[in-house]
Amino acid sequence: AQTVTQSQPEMSVQEAETVTLSCTYDTSENNYYLFWYKQPPSRQMILVIRQEAYKQQNATENRFSVNFQKAAKSFSLKISDSQLGDTAMYFCAFMKPQGAQKLVFGQGTRLTINP
């Protein structure tokens, strides 16, 4: 079974700073997807960024980028030039592309951006 671990329950940074959220996972699969989802306060969960395991290049979406280290089974999210709207719970998630395509989530990191 796959497991996902986020070791930082809470983080807090000042607006405009760069912040990195950590995620490690455990799997015996070679082909899989990794995701970061964002859950703003009282709002719906949305997908921030995804990474396919077969791709060596790290994914980037505007101010969001990942550092994917397949051998180390590490998948961190970097938020550059952080904004107040980035305040949210962030979840790291794993998915096998075959079968039911279920998401396995980490425990979450509560990120607060301070003005």
Partner 1 sequence: DVKVTQSSRYLVKRTGEKVFLECVQDMDHENMFWYRQDPGLGLRLIYFSYDVKMKEKGDIPEGYSVSREKKERFSLILESASTNQTSMYLCASKVGDSSYEQYFGPGTRLTVT
Question: Residue 52 — left, alpha, or beta (φ > 0 → left; ψ -120 to 50 → alpha)?
Answer: beta
Cβ neighbours of 14 (radius 10 Å): 10
Shortest Cβ 105–partner 1 spacing (Å): 4
The residue (of 86 and 91) whose beta carbon lies closer to partner 1 is 91
DSSP output for 24-61 = EEE-S-SS-EEEEEEE-TTS--EEEEEEETT--SPPEE
Binding interface with partner 1 (CB under 8 A): 4, 6, 9, 33, 35, 37, 43-47, 50, 91, 95, 97, 100-108
The residue (of 33 and 64) whose beta carbon lies closer to partner 1 is 33
Shortest Cβ 108–partner 1 spacing (Å): 5
Shortest Cβ 15–partner 1 spacing (Å): 26
